[in-house]
Structure 1
Amino acid sequence: MNKTSCLHTLRIGLVASLGLGGCATVATPGSNPAATGIYDPRETFAPLSLPQAANRYRSGNGAPGPDYWQNRVDYSIHADLDTESQQLGAREVIHYTNNSPDALASLWLQLDQNIYRKDARSIHASGWPRTKFTEGYRFAKVEVEVGGQRYPADYLIDDTRMQVRLRQPLPPGGADLKLHIDYDYDIPGDFGGRTAIGDSEHGPIYDIAQWYPRMAVYDDQRGWDTLPYLASEFYLEYGDFDYWITVPAAMLVAGSGELVNPQDVLTAQQRQRLKQARSSDRTVMIRSPEEVGDPASRPQSEKPLTWHYHMQDTRDTAFAASAAFVWDAARIQLPGGRTSLAMSYYPAERAGDDAWGRSTEFLKHAVEQFSQRWFPYPYPAAINVGGPVGGMEYPGILFDSMKDGGGKLFWITVHEIGHTWFPMIVGFDERRSAWMDEGFNTFIDVYESDDFNDGEFGPKRDSEYTPGGGSPVEEIIPIMSDPEAPIPLIRADAIAEKYRHSISYYKSALGLILLREQILGPERFDWAFRKFIADWAFKHPSPSDFFRAMDSAGGEDLSWFWRGWYLNNWTLDLATTGVHAVDGDDAKGYTVTIANLDRLVMPATVQIDFADGTQQRERLPAEAWLQKTEVGIHVDRPVARVSVDPDHLIPDRNRDNNVYEAPTP
């Protein structure tokens, strides 16, 4: 993709979210008046202290330090989905390993289902009004096991968190224990948001997520990270999962990871079709629309069936279940000769290429491209579920709306599977830094939209928005200029809905595009970005780690960019301020002057059109503004026209002063 087209792909709905029309452009003829501004090089290029200091845990080069540590959590869960009472009950064993240098006197768990309680903090804090509720988790047993001995846990529940107070602190350096938890909860219906029940023509579809108590993160940044679940997403530890889901025999279960016991839950024909799909680049039907409702398409059993799934090196799992599912699949080809499996589950009435019939094609292409471009997909399957949840990601599985189709399904599929890389491979803290997982993911979406089928669904658009004209570098300006807009580096729950997409998705993603295409260039950016992903795969980087990584591996001191774009909402205003004969003598040539009037700096192209019909382009680096507010370009011929950023590749807030045109003789 060329630089102009790539920037234009990132419009992604800002017009809709901000209520803007098309972009404003160009210039005023004649000599611009003397420019005045607020730019101060000493402010923009001052030494930058990042929020988190480098140390033995996190190196100055942005990589994990020599003493970096991370605790581990492995889960074993046996769950029963009761479709009569609409409840899920489970027996969970959490194996927790303390790799930290600290003795832990207590453990903290996350209880996401408690967000649906009438007394949940989120009712008042998140801005999402709720009129339907559940009781949240109900616990029958919570026990601690140490050295093979169990005892009843001393625990406290506060909102969406549980503190388990240990009889003896868990020692540092690899000591472990187990928690045994028996629980159940009422599954939220259509009000569940990220986990819900929805109707289809052949029966209900259950999208089940955030379905088990899970460990909070204990890290070197804060100790226990106990932010309550208000609306923003997750920060989780890594480990292995074994889980068993028992459902009525007529249902299919789509789960994160690999199905361990297909012989128990699939027909012989389905197992054969699945084997075929593992070596097919074309979509293979495992259960066709015509077979939905046919008893022969399920093993004959009067008793419920138990589906066993296993997943390694993951921070979460989710599953979906329904008797209404069509199921198809195709091989994903990965770097190094590895393969995975793209699969889609959706109701029969949504079959067909204009609905969900191309879902697996979309999914397969995105995983292959992201794997080639950034980091190999690590999981045995990538699953897209068409159900009641309208766009939510979990490791190895996506919940997208059954109503989607065409470009809308493509965009939401690509975006949600892109979250595998951010924040599931690179384990960002979404509750504090939504701009990292949403913005980084939106950034990689841009290139996938152009790659797929020669741009069939390009340029990139978010699924809920209507495509339209306009440049992202123009449409971001009202947000950057809005004194009420938050900066990207703010706790995710503190971002009002008015600004959520604009800041966390669009500004963050546009920052990476500017960094790749205007500041570092693709060769330097791509190498540094891939190194950052590989260094932090299945680990927990902070924003400061990312900034240091791109400085170090990208070979550039970018403190001026981090300060202006991410730590502040500074704006850019470059202006042409005139053309003057050197010392008043035309024979000595001319000086073209460009001023920086606002706090942000950015590399910029200046196009000079000469009176003799020739043209010259000059590239001004960011360092042009290191000591001064105005720079001069020497030329040897009379000038007819000067234009700053003629291709509109940088977010200049006032284009009226970007062009100088010589007076007509």
Structure 2
Amino acid sequence: MTGSLSVFAQQGKENNQQDFSESIARKGNYYRAASGKPGEGYWQNAADYQIEVTLDEANFTLSGKVALTYTNNSPESLDFIWMQMEQNRFTADSRGTLTTPPQGNRYNGNTDGGYQITNLAAKVGSKGAISTKHLIDDTRMQVWFAEPIPARGGKATVSMNFSFKVPEDGMDRMGRLKVNDGWIYAFAQWYPKVAVFDDIEGWNVEPYLGAGEFYLEYGNFDYKVTVPYNHIVVGSGKLMNPNEVLTKELQNRLAKAYQSDETVFLVSPDEIKNTQLTRPKQDGMITWHFRIENSRDVAFATSSSFIWDAARINLASGKTTLAQSVYPKESEGQEAWGRSTEYSKASIENNSKWYEFPWETATNVAAKIGGMEYPGLNFCHYTSKGRGLWGVTDHEFGHNWFPMIVGSNERRYAWMDEGFNTFINHYSTLDFNNGEYPSTLNETRRLTNFLTDTNREGIDTYPDVADLRNLGFIAYRKPAMGLIVLREYVLGPERFDNAFKSYIKTWAYKHPQPEDFFNHMENVAGENLSWFWKNWFYGTGNIDLGIGGVQPYGGNYLVSIENKGDMPMPVLLEVTYDDNSTERTMLPVEIWQRGNTWVHQIKTSKKVKAVVIDPDKILPDVNMANDSWPVEIYK
């Protein structure tokens, strides 16, 4: 027994109502409802692309043309549009280059690249006057029209030719890798694309610097890639011309893979150079044609050095799709990329429990990239193995849900894609092969060192502003930990899952803001969580719940509980009696509205042997020393 207790401790004058009041603007409006759904007037613009490009291996250049059809669904006419020109990051005087520290960082990139743009033509409607007026500034281009694009459904087209040198070091997102059998090309941020115009910021024109990723409109993509005849190309979406680019043997193997739950070789390690078997042409160039609908982006990879394997993905609706992997001989083996397709299949099947995977293929590409995601296609490092390869594969495929399906603004709110994805990765890892690999989020208390670090930053810190040493925690782990706490401790799995699945379904192929997520979770789960959002997502405070003491009282027991941290939290108490039986009670978060101490009465005829807070160790409580009584039995 420690200290003395007052039965009336909870009736003090201290008041913590400010923790439970709104601190961020979350009121609904015409465009975004207070329920966290798109409002009556919600709108978003659309972008459809037709692209044709050719790879020049001799000069490491990609060149071609893009035609954008833009639909202005906004309530205002537009005199111009802004476009993202992300290859311009690879120049000596780009903002990204000039904001990279001299010692470098993960987002280093070559500086001898950038776009060459010619023959730009823009017009409104099918008969509008053609404008060539445009202004390129760093990684943005402003394209002007001869007349405004009408509001509420007006259409415009922009076409241009473009080319760029393919960087070898592409900021850990794209580039090229030399292997023994040739080059592997990973193409991302490869075509000029329209920026998002929304009801929050108007034009979202943050430059492409490094850590901040992407925010893009949805639309349909039809793209053709012309490469040397001995290359294999994989890309976002569906291959439209297999008869033209695959031999009959490869087509038969592909059909077999669509029916197989086990991995099937399309091109085995011994067949990489056997073009008679695998390629319908034996010289010149060949064009691969892909299409994907309702997507925000496309990426592709091409090489003459690919091993290629695949297997069927089974979805709950009865639909099937294809998991496939391409990798060089340096990556083969069952301890390495030989299991990539197995990992890819499992990731898509597990994560589809939240919302069904919508596209025709899920492709994992081995490249000199730590891990980067695009719709239906990943780039992962070619030397990854075992647990590391599972982790990066699952993480990058998880991004198909956040932000590929739920289209949040990654440049501003990295936690809405990285954090949410890290959260679903936790459960897919627990599910995979009966827990073959452990989840790093199994015990959140092992991750509390960052929470007390004097240099810590808040989750809401913009990714390009955050200290890169903090980014992994504030964008990935801390928001994921918060969702685990909500699911496993605060709301329970059923209430949480109802709300989270509803959020994904409601905002699929749309542009939610943080407030939409907060509002939607509260409305579907039926819980005011203001105290949680403001402290966990918009602050750097910590959880520290403690037991002040336990003493007999009128034949029962009183437990004194203290909130010594910076945020309130429900308190799960587990009482152990002298007969070793246990009993659990969840005290609601509202006990802290009145102050920082609370006394709970244990009504029992048994003798209390021990009391512990959070017996399952779900909370990232920064001080475990005060979580139990008596203290010594939990050392």
TM-score above 0.5: yes
8 Å Cα contact 2:5-2:560 kept in structure 1: no
- 1:171 matched residue in structure 2: 150
1:571 aligns with 2:542: yes
Specify the SS of the correspondent of 1:357. helix
Q: Could you report, residue by residue, the CA deviation over 1:437-482 in whole angstroms, capped at 9, with x for unpaired residues?
A: 0000000011111111111122348xxxxxxxx9323423x33333
Tell me, in whole angstroms, the C-alpha distance in 2 between the residues paired with 1:494 and 1:593: 42
1:125 Cα shift?
Answer: 2.9
Q: Judging changes above 3 Å, is the alpha-carbon distance between structure 1 residues 237 and 550 closer, same or farther for their aligned structure 2 residues?
A: same
> Equivalent of 1:44, from 6, 13, 19?
19
8 Å Cα contact 1:117-1:134 kept in structure 2: yes
- 1:631 matched residue in structure 2: 598
> Equivalent of 2:78, from 101, 104, 112?
104
Runs (5+) with no aligned partner, structure 2: none
Matches within 5 A, 1:398-437: 398-437=378-417
Larger displacement relative to structure 2 (91-100 or 184-193)? 184-193
Specify the SS of the correspondent of 1:68. coil
Specify the SS of the correspondent of 1:490. coil
1:556 aligns with 2:537: no
Q: Could you report, residue by residue, the CA deviation over 1:181-217 in whole angstroms, capped at 9, with x for unpaired residues?
A: 1111111013542111101121110011100000000
Tell me, in whole angstroms, the C-alpha distance in 2 between the residues paired with 1:662 and 1:116: 58
Matches within 5 A, 1:63-462: 63-127=37-101, 128=104, 130=108, 132-146=110-124, 147-149=126-128, 151-231=130-210, 232-296=212-276, 297-371=278-352, 373-460=353-440
Question: What percentage of residue pairs aligned between the two structures are identical?
Answer: 40
1:30 Cα shift?
Answer: 4.5
- 2:567 matched residue in structure 1: 600
TM-score by length of 2: 0.93
Superposition CA RMSD, Å: 2.3
Tell me, in whole angstroms, the C-alpha distance in 2 between the residues paired with 1:112 and 1:255: 19
Larger displacement relative to structure 2 (511-520 or 150-159)? 150-159
Using CA pairs under 8 Å that are at least 6 residues apart, name the structure with larger relative contact order, 1 or 2: 1
1:595 Cα shift?
Answer: 1.5
Letter in 2 for 1:643: V
1:306 Cα shift?
Answer: 0.6
Q: Could you report, residue by residue, the CA deviation over 1:238-258 in whole angstroms, capped at 9, with x for unpaired residues?
A: 000000101000100111111
Tell me, in whole angstroms, the C-alpha distance in 2 between the residues paired with 1:332 and 1:437: 24
Q: Could you report, residue by residue, the CA deviation over 1:65-111 in whole angstroms, capped at 9, with x for unpaired residues?
A: 12111100000011011000100101110000000001111100000
Tell me, in whole angstroms, the C-alpha distance in 2 between the residues paired with 1:95 and 1:389: 32
Q: Judging changes above 3 Å, is the alpha-carbon distance between structure 1 residues 233 and 32 closer, same or farther for their aligned structure 2 residues?
A: farther
Letter in 2 for 1:495: A
TM-score by length of 1: 0.89
8 Å Cα contact 2:69-2:155 kept in structure 1: yes
Specify the SS of the correspondent of 2:338. coil
Q: Judging changes above 3 Å, is the alpha-carbon distance between structure 1 residues 136 and 629 closer, same or farther for their aligned structure 2 residues?
A: same
8 Å Cα contact 2:32-2:516 kept in structure 1: yes
> Equivalent of 2:445, from 463, 473, 486?
473
Larger displacement relative to structure 2 (612-621 or 262-271)? 612-621
1:436 Cα shift?
Answer: 1.0
1:642 aligns with 2:611: yes
1:235 Cα shift?
Answer: 0.2
8 Å Cα contact 1:39-1:596 kept in structure 2: no
1:498 aligns with 2:478: no
1:592 Cα shift?
Answer: 1.6
Q: Judging changes above 3 Å, is the alpha-carbon distance between structure 1 residues 263 and 140 closer, same or farther for their aligned structure 2 residues?
A: same
1:126 Cα shift?
Answer: 4.9
1:149 Cα shift?
Answer: 4.6
Letter in 2 for 1:473: R
1:33 Cα shift?
Answer: 10
Specify the SS of the correspondent of 2:317. helix
- 1:655 matched residue in structure 2: 624
Number of equivalenced pairs: 621
Runs (5+) with no aligned partner, structure 1: 1-28, 462-469
- 1:11 matched residue in structure 2: none
Q: Could you report, residue by residue, the CA deviation over 1:594-621 in whole angstroms, capped at 9, with x for unpaired residues?
A: 1112221112222334456554332212
Specify the SS of the correspondent of 2:307. strand
8 Å Cα contact 2:131-2:145 kept in structure 1: no
